[in-house]
Amino acid sequence: MSPPDRSFSENVRVAVADPQLRRAMHHVKEGFIGKRAKAAARLPEFETLRDAARDIKDHTLAHLDLYLERYEAEVTGRGGHVHWCAGPAEARAAILDICRQAGARTVTKGKSMIGEEIDINAHLEAAGMMPVETDLGEYIVQMRHERPSHIIAPAVHLTKDLIEADFRAQHRQFPADRSLSEVPELVDEARQVLRQRFLDADVGITGANFLVAETGSSIIVTNEGNGDLTQILPRVHIVIASLEKMVPTLEDAATILRVLARSATGQEFSTYTTVSTGPKRPDDVDGPEVYHVILLDNGRSDLLDGPFREILRCIRCGACINHCPVYHAIGGHAYGSVYPGPIGAVLTPALEGIEAAADLPEASTFCGRCEAVCPMRIPLPKLLRHWRERAFERRVTPKTVRAGIGVWAFFAQRPALYGFATGLAARLLGMLGGRRGRIARLPLAGGWTRFRDLPAPEGQTFRSQWATRGAARKGQRS
């Protein structure tokens, strides 16, 4: 499975030098940002809805134990089964057990990041079953033995010529000379192949965008309809969801749904929003006979108590990823984690430990766009800063960085010396820049100057300019 076991900095080096990835990532910048802005502008209540959505989740998280108990009672009362799972191993065991009991051979899957978190496909395969990803993007990355590079657009790192090559290699049942270079042809071919899988499936696994305490329902939001074919055709429907997907009522779900699609794809509403409650009823002529919910904790209950609670408001829309300049530059795989981008940089250290993921909170310019667009108003830069502090406290920050910060701290605690040293440095760098005002090479700044020139400082430091202006303002007032 990708991503490869390289260090983050090595992944970044490879990613920024990949011209195919550059072309593919161009679509993210061009597509998602404009569409979201347009959708948000079209709904005057959008900002009010963001506040309301945040408040719903804050209330739910503060009562999460109680809502989960109510939810469980509702699911059970309607003939479903709830499996509480502390971690990935327990969740996999529960799923495999259900699949074995159902005598499953083909297991279709709707898109689920929890599925990625527990790496369920590998375990289904090891148990002799065939997991089939049915979301088009997921189908493509599964075919390539890759992981999704984006939480809502799994194959966004690929261009259509690469996908065509994969389809030609894998779909041998079609004539070799068929035309397959255009998007409609690719979509149509996948539709044909997957249609049979839907019909063959013994078990269907979907994720959940929401779990509703009031009715014991799970809700999925899709555009393709694959999540629906996944859950209504097989005999068994398994929902895999983490604890924080909970909302109190159907009304609360409606409020958050209003910000979800607009933030994710810029749609007014996704094509399909499906509310599933228990197994089929006695007089239903279709639908699953058995309904299971895998409730995964995997670190969420720990996050509830402490500075990272706000990350549990996340509804996985991907807006922070779509707007992140670092993500635009390196794509999703370079992060080496299940969740990429700002949300991944906050969540991964929580799931895997800061020691294993100390690089990720560093992968931010703190430009603040992620927080500005987050529909749930999660203060992502603040949370990234918390992780950087923890990494420093636990001494997992690299030695050179620690030494650099140490030097800076020495000067910062001596303001006069700091002013003198930065003034001197500004003059020296200014001279180094020469008449062009740009520096092509500088010791310790190779990471910058390898790809572009460093602009040389012009004139005085910020602090001395600030002091001058402050004096001028005081002069004006008196």
Partner 1 sequence: MSGDRERVLGSLRRALGRGRDAAADAAAHTAVVQRIASRQRGPIPARSQLDPVQQVELFETMAREQAATVVHVARGDGVPAAVADYLKAANLPPRVRVAPDAALTALPWDGQPLLEISTGRAAAEDPVSLTGAFAGIAETGTLMLRSGASHPTTLNFLPDVHIVVLRAADVVGPYEDVWDRLRAREGDGVMPRTVNFVTGPSRTADIEQTIQLGAHGPRRLHIILIDETDETP
Interacting residues with partner 1 between 148 and 177 (CB under 8 A):
153-156, 158-160, 163
CB-based contact 324:370 (threshold 8 Å):
yes
By CB under 8 A, what part of segment 99-158 binds partner 1?
134-137, 140, 153-156, 158
User: Residue 417 Cβ, how far from partner 1 at the closest point, in Å?
Assistant: 46
User: Is residue 33 part of the contact set for partner 1 (CB under 8 A)?
Assistant: no
- Applying CB under 8 A, which of residues 115, 234, 279, 344 lies at the interface with partner 1? 279
CB closer to partner 1 out of 308 and 339: 308
Q: Which stretch binds partner 1 (CB under 8 A): 213-221, 352-360, 361-369, 466-474?
A: 213-221
CB closer to partner 1 out of 23 and 469: 23
CB closer to partner 1 out of 178 and 463: 178
Q: Which stretch binds partner 1 (CB under 8 A): 284-292, 324-332, 341-349, 383-391?
A: 284-292
Packing angle of the helix pair 341-352, 380-393 (nearest 10 deg): 40
Q: Token pair 């924080």 is at which residue?
A: 244
List Cα–Cα distances, 96 to 76, 122, 226, in angstroms: 20, 11, 22
CB closer to partner 1 out of 177 and 286: 286
CB closer to partner 1 out of 191 and 441: 191
CB-based contact 333:3 (threshold 8 Å):
yes
Residue 2 corresponds to which tokens in the numbers above? 């990708």
By CB under 8 A, what part of segment 235-264 binds partner 1?
243, 248-252, 254-255, 257-258
CB closer to partner 1 out of 203 and 259: 259
User: Is residue 78 part of the contact set for partner 1 (CB under 8 A)?
Assistant: yes
Q: Which stretch binds partner 1 (CB under 8 A): 53-61, 125-133, 420-428, 435-443?
A: 53-61
Tell me which residue of 188, 72, 200, 76 sits closest to 130, measured CA to CA: 200
- Applying CB under 8 A, which of residues 198, 210, 308, 327 lies at the interface with partner 1? 198
- Applying CB under 8 A, which of residues 14, 37, 52, 130 lies at the interface with partner 1? 52
Considering CB under 8 A, how many residues would be counted as binding partner 1? Answer: 104
User: Is residue 5 part of the contact set for partner 1 (CB under 8 A)?
Assistant: no
User: Is residue 392 part of the contact set for partner 1 (CB under 8 A)?
Assistant: no
User: Residue 287 Cβ, how far from partner 1 at the closest point, in Å?
Assistant: 5
CA distance 343 to 337: 11
CB-based contact 142:115 (threshold 8 Å):
no
Binding-residue pattern over the window 176 to 195 for partner 1, x denoting contact by CB under 8 A: -------xx-xxx--x--xx
Residues 6+ apart with CB under 8 A from 102: 202, 203, 235, 236, 290
Tell me whether strands 106-109 and 130-133 are parallel, antiparallel or unpaired. parallel
Label residues 417-426 b or e (16+ Cβ within 10 Å = b): ebeeebeeeb
User: Residue 469 Cβ, how far from partner 1 at the closest point, in Å?
Assistant: 43
Tell me which residue of 368, 316, 366, 370 sits closest to 339, measured CA to CA: 316
User: Residue 347 Cβ, how far from partner 1 at the closest point, in Å?
Assistant: 17
Please, how many CA atoms are within 13 Å of residue 216, restricted to the half-sphere of its CB?
A: 21
- What DSSP string describes 162-185? HHHHHHHHH-TTS-TT----SHHH
Helix, strand or coil, per DSSP, at residue 119? coil
- Applying CB under 8 A, which of residues 4, 41, 45, 128 lies at the interface with partner 1? 45
CA distance 75 to 71: 6
User: Residue 443 Cβ, how far from partner 1 at the closest point, in Å?
Assistant: 42
Residue 290 corresponds to which tokens in the numbers above? 């058995």
- Applying CB under 8 A, which of residues 112, 142, 149, 274 lies at the interface with partner 1? 274
